[in-house]
Amino acid sequence: MAAERSKVADLEANHNFLRKQLEDAKTQELLKQRELSNVSDEIEALKKRHARELKDLEFDLKREVIAAKDELANMKSRHARELMDLEMDVKKREREIQQLQEDLRLCRGDLERERETVSTLKSTISHQSNARIALGTENHALQSQKTALQTELDMYLATISSLNLKLEASQKEIDALKHETMEAETARRKLHNMVQELKGNIRVFCRVRPVLPSDLPSPETPPDSSSANIAFPDRLDHKEIVVASSSESATGQERKEVYNFNFDRVFEPESSQAEVFEEISLLAQSCTDGYNVCVFAYGQTGSGKSFTMEGGPTATSSGMIPRAVEQVFQVAEELKRKGWEYKMEGQFLEIYNETINDLLGKGEFDKKKHEIKHDPKTNSTRVTDANVVPLHSPTQVRSLLAVAQSRRSVAATLMNERSSRSHSVFTLRISGHNVNTGERSEGSLNLVDLAGSERLNASGTAADKDRLKETQSINRSLSALGDVIAALGEKGEKGDKHIPYRNSKLTYLLQNSLSGNSKTLMILNLSPLAAHLNESLTSLRFATKVNNTTIGTAKKQVRTS
């Protein structure tokens, strides 16, 4: 250790000597720089005082300056080399010192580990004798604990088995409650239908379609920016719709108005075709019991009437017409077990410019003159020279819908690029015979898709004579429908009132559906767009008037042979 300390002391002394030499060299270099700076100042002073002498001596002075600079550069180079050698020597000595320190640290670590090993061995030897006794005691305790755990495990297994039995019983109870809830909902719907039928009112459903991508000016536009302020506060029964609008008064102040409307059922934009049909399914299938049923879609162009009634190409988007026909076929099939046999036939008409066209006729355009005939004895309606097609399956009806759609009168308006310019009426007649009781029934299902109800200035058809004539004809027939509704309301209050069914082909064709011999439902279709708000309010007010109209209780068309 004394030798190592002596060696370290020598290294430190040598290091200090080298450091001192380095500082002396730096000091000497600074002196040289100061001398050079002074020489330069003197030269500059001499240049100013003796300009003429400077020209004569310029060559000699430049040579001296160059020589001085060379000498200074040589001195700097020499001092730099000496300094580098000294620094390298210092680094070498520092590495030697670090190596020695590392060797010393390793030796100390080895010594410490050896001491710990000896201590551990002593401790292990001292505890080995006690370990065997402790292990024996612990083994006995573990055996006792194992017995206790086995007993506890058996108890848990028994508890789990009991809980599984309770879970199965609870699941059965939940399933029974679900089934009971479904039956209660079906009974509620039946009772609601019964109450409405006893009231004799025209039932009204309101459906708001969603905002479509084609409604937006650009794909980046959020849907809410184009939507009207429409709310659905009745989350329990879904019977209320609230429309808010704002306008500017004559004084320039903003005027806000809120309109509340109540109907038999209100469908929000998220409602599916299946949800809408579920509410009218019992009504639609009652034609198998001998009732006349009429469902008609009302609303402005582009509000979703045709989609609601006819639907799209997929099963989920299927409309009320194919769904109603499919259900009627299904109910007829189920009633076969009770002795009922049914015969079904259908016709598809359109009323265009107060002219009836047969959409199932032959040729591109129907040139026949059709007349409406009512039979007061059977409360049935027939149209002369109209094709009545026997129906055997729902698939056949879908094919007929496709044929009728291709023949229907459509054109573009400002409200809708492809607007139905006519009223369409699909009629399903069903006659049944019970082979067991001899009872006979005759019912009909009228599914009506009315033309757009917008006003002339909103439709943008005033510049086109043909479109103008169509719109005027549509509005006259819808106005006639409003007159009939108003007259029916007055008749319910006063008891005696002339009903102007003959004012239009539409009202005359639907006379039996509006006169109390039919279960009648109107589906009001609304656009969600703010641009259509005025048309929507007009439609909502008309629908409210319809919903408050009493037409009488429908009667079964049943007789015994």
225 appears as a binding residue in the annotation: no
367 appears as a binding residue in the annotation: no
47 appears as a binding residue in the annotation: no
Residues in CB range of 430: below 8 A, 6 or more apart: 287, 288, 328, 332, 342, 343, 344, 442, 443, 444, 445
Helical ranges in 495-532 per DSSP H: 505-509, 511-514
94-143: pLDDT as tens digits: 999 999 999 999 998 899 999 999 888 888 888 887 888 888 888 888 99
Q: Give 3-state DSSP helix, strand, coil % of the chain, rounded to 5.
A: 60, 20, 25
Closest of 257, 461, 444, 433 to residue 347, by C-alpha: 444
Question: What pLDDT, on a 0 to 100 scale, did the predictor assign at position 369?
Answer: 85
Residue 228 has which token pair? 């009207």
318 appears as a binding residue in the annotation: no
Q: 380-383 and 372-375 as β-strands: parallel, antiparallel, unpaired?
A: antiparallel
Closest of 452, 364, 345 to residue 408, by C-alpha: 364
538 appears as a binding residue in the annotation: no
Place of tokens 């309301």: 489
Q: 292-298 and 423-434 as β-strands: parallel, antiparallel, unpaired?
A: unpaired
- Provide the whole-model pTM: 0.63
The DSSP H or E segment spanning 456 is: helix 456-459
Question: What pLDDT, on a 0 to 100 scale, did the predictor assign at position 197?
Answer: 59
226 appears as a binding residue in the annotation: no
Q: Specify the DSSP class assigned to residue 264.
A: S
301 appears as a binding residue in the annotation: yes
Amino acid letter, residue 264:
D
Whole-number Å distance between alpha carbons of 333 and 137: 82
Amino acid letter, residue 265:
R
Whole-number Å distance between alpha carbons of 531 and 537: 12
Residue 333 has which token pair? 């099939």
346 appears as a binding residue in the annotation: no
Give the number of C-alpha atoms closer than 13 A to the C-alpha of residue 181, restricted to the C-beta side: 6
Amino acid letter, residue 65:
V
Asked if 239 contacts 265 with a C-beta cutoff of 8 angstroms, the reply is yes
Q: 254-262 and 240-248 as β-strands: parallel, antiparallel, unpaired?
A: antiparallel
Residue 13 has which token pair? 């002394």
Question: What pLDDT, on a 0 to 100 scale, did the predictor assign at position 164?
Answer: 92
Chunk the chain into consecutive blocks of 10 residues (it has 561) and report each block's average pLDDT, rounded to whole numbers.
80 84 85 84 75 73 84 89 90 91 90 90 84 86 90 90 91 87 66 58 89 77 74 91 82 83 94 92 83 88 89 89 90 89 91 86 72 83 89 87 72 38 86 89 88 56 58 79 81 71 89 78 92 90 86 67 58
